[in-house]
Structure 1
């Protein structure tokens, strides 16, 4: 009987010693996740422990794609208390603490993309904390592109059509096409990831038409347009110009004749300039010269 009891005690000791020294085991169901900007995502993290959960410690960190060398602490569970990063307050929380280390991230932003690390420690279990990683990608549709043109729209000239997209993840693909009379794809010169242009040289009247820039990624397509009108100088333009010049010349001649007439009217036969007073006196003298004056002497002689 004593030997049997001793055997059971030894067996129990052998079984419990590895469990006490075992580290917490941490796993994630997915190594990569993708979420559309503005939606929520569940970041899974499961753990196995043999100790009570009264001293459970869970830490989530993020190494952003934009700055992987500067990881941030997303959320912490320590002795029953939850501490969130101030920049994520109201957007992050544990889904089923303390039974899992899963967290929910709401209203996801592009800045949330990166490598997430889940670390679980549950004293008195020995060993390093259990660690698991997953990669989160935040995608968004392209923003509305902006189309512009610059150059000479006369026949024989050249024009550059440019298209700029503000944002989009994955990076949108930019394409240019002429829509009428039939759709024709045009070669695009990429100027960075979010800008593409098309250069049109030696233009003709057939170059006129509606042009479209498309920005496309897996979430959708956004378009902007340019209506290009190529014109040629009118053949009647020289005749019109000559008519305008002739009209101006005739007007100048009439003005000169009118000035000469006024000058002759204001000068006498001797060519001397007369002021208004002299002109009135001469006009009065002319009127007196043409009058027949009767005096009493003349009247008497008439009746003798």
Structure 2
């Protein structure tokens, strides 16, 4: 037993009176303690007050308390897992009690009902009342006790509402609702107010955990959703606004991927362009300009196909190959076409001492030296020979 705070002499008296009640002779009249039928279990709401109704009588005596009666009244609170806690004591006209706890009637009185104010959840438990009555001579009139169970209920605290998921058309979201404190545990109800009133039931709504799952969202599902947390002693609510957008989560992701790829492509193009500009000067040096003028071929000097005065001999390669055959032309005979692949005639050697250089034969059909050069003719220098046939 835990003693109440108070004067030490008063605590001493409790043990003294309890000892005397055990040693003192008991008369025929015995103490009887009463609790109204059906009130041995009480429920009350947190923050309110409650009265635990109890009174005593002496066996054979139904009248009110007599001036000679000297009762000892003790109230205890018994909770699971805790020691017995004394909450009020009355003896010899003195009362000691815990805060918020008092007797309903002024003592001495046979009505020993207990009042508890400003109830808290921790006030729940079993309250035991013990009464021991003595007369003036110290004769014990009897001892008795009764127990009343008190359960303090707590209405749900205001819950918090949350939206889990991204509300796009065609997706799924979950609305969550949870009360932080409630006794007994709160249950939950989801509903939509006007102009589109709707109440949701399981399995869409979980009335134990407070969740509401909405599937395949559409724009018509946008609006306010209200969650009510309730138990047998009260309720509280919260709300969340759902705005369903027409954008698709997959489209957003695809757009981001496409944008990234386009950006990488542009970056690669810029890098290639930079490298090509760096190599452009080198490549231009090797390019052949189609519109450039062909270089002019140097003209051949006259007499290049004869023996020079200094002892050298020139031969005409392509010019003589293209020269038509010499001979009298017959009437009706066609002029033969020059054959580029006919063998070249052997050059005639002349004496360099007194001979005069032969005139340069004319080119066939009046072909100029520049034309022969474009046709692929190449001048070749042949070493000069003497009369004996030796090289000079």
TM-score by length of structure 1 reads: 0.62
In the alignment of these two chains, the number of paired residues is 243
Q: Is the 8 A contact 1:176 1:188 kept in 2?
A: no
Indicate which of 221, 227, 238 corresponds to 1:213: 227
Q: Which residue of structure 2 aligns with residue 76 of structure 1?
A: 89
Question: In 2, Cα distance between the equivalents of 1:213 and 1:226?
Answer: 8
Question: In 2, Cα distance between the equivalents of 1:159 and 1:196?
Answer: 14
Question: In 1, Cα distance between the equivalents of 2:255 and 2:242?
Answer: 28
Question: In 1, Cα distance between the equivalents of 2:55 and 2:275?
Answer: 106
Residue 224 of structure 1, CA deviation? 1.6
Q: Is the 8 A contact 2:189 2:207 kept in 1?
A: no
Q: Is the 8 A contact 2:187 2:210 kept in 1?
A: no
Question: In 2, Cα distance between the equivalents of 1:138 and 1:114?
Answer: 9
- CA deviation string 1:112-155 (max 9, x = no partner): 2333232211132344x233343434233210112233346444
- Is 1:25 aligned with 2:25? no
SS at the partner of 1:111? helix
Residue 218 of structure 1, CA deviation? 4.9
Residue 178 of structure 1, CA deviation? 3.1
Question: In 2, Cα distance between the equivalents of 1:240 and 1:255?
Answer: 23
Query: Considering only CA atoms, is the larger Rg found in Structure 1 or Structure 2?
Result: 2
Indicate which of 150, 153, 161 corresponds to 1:147: 161
Q: Indicate how the Cα distance of structure 1 residues 236 and 163 shifts in structure 2: closer, same or farther if over 3 A, else same.
A: closer
Q: Is the 8 A contact 1:174 1:214 kept in 2?
A: yes
Mapping for residues 82-101 of structure 1, pairs under 5 Å? 82-84=95-97, 89-95=98-104, 96-99=106-109, 100-101=111-112
Q: Which residue of structure 1 aligns with residue 126 of structure 2?
A: 115
Residue 180 of structure 1, CA deviation? 6.0
Question: In 1, Cα distance between the equivalents of 2:221 and 2:84?
Answer: 53
Q: Indicate how the Cα distance of structure 1 residues 68 and 268 shifts in structure 2: closer, same or farther if over 3 A, else same.
A: closer
Residue 246 of structure 1, CA deviation? 5.2
Provide structure 1 residue ranges, at least 5 long, that are not aligned to the other structure: 1-18, 271-304
Q: Which residue of structure 1 aligns with residue 77 of structure 2?
A: 62
TM-score by length of structure 2 reads: 0.50
Residue 57 of structure 1, CA deviation? 1.6
Q: Indicate how the Cα distance of structure 1 residues 182 and 63 shifts in structure 2: closer, same or farther if over 3 A, else same.
A: farther
Q: Is the 8 A contact 1:188 1:197 kept in 2?
A: no
Question: In 2, Cα distance between the equivalents of 1:199 and 1:210?
Answer: 15
Residue 24 of structure 1, CA deviation? 1.4
Q: Which residue of structure 1 aligns with residue 276 of structure 2?
A: 260
Q: Which structure carries more strand by proportion?
A: 1
Structure 1 vs Structure 2 CA RMSD: 3.9
SS at the partner of 1:97? coil
Residue 162 of structure 1, CA deviation? 2.4
Q: Which residue of structure 2 aligns with residue 176 of structure 1?
A: 190
Q: Which residue of structure 2 aligns with residue 46 of structure 1?
A: 55
Question: In 2, Cα distance between the equivalents of 1:97 and 1:176?
Answer: 53
- Is 1:225 aligned with 2:234? no
Q: Is the 8 A contact 1:188 1:196 kept in 2?
A: no
Question: In 1, Cα distance between the equivalents of 2:103 and 2:255?
Answer: 83
SS at the partner of 2:272? helix
Q: Is the 8 A contact 2:155 2:233 kept in 1?
A: yes
Provide structure 2 residue ranges, at least 5 long, that are not aligned to the other structure: 1-25, 59-65, 287-392
Question: In 1, Cα distance between the equivalents of 2:187 and 2:267?
Answer: 63
Residue 214 of structure 1, CA deviation? 0.4
Question: In 2, Cα distance between the equivalents of 1:74 and 1:261?
Answer: 97
Question: In 1, Cα distance between the equivalents of 2:206 and 2:233?
Answer: 23
Q: Which residue of structure 2 aligns with residue 301 of structure 1?
A: none
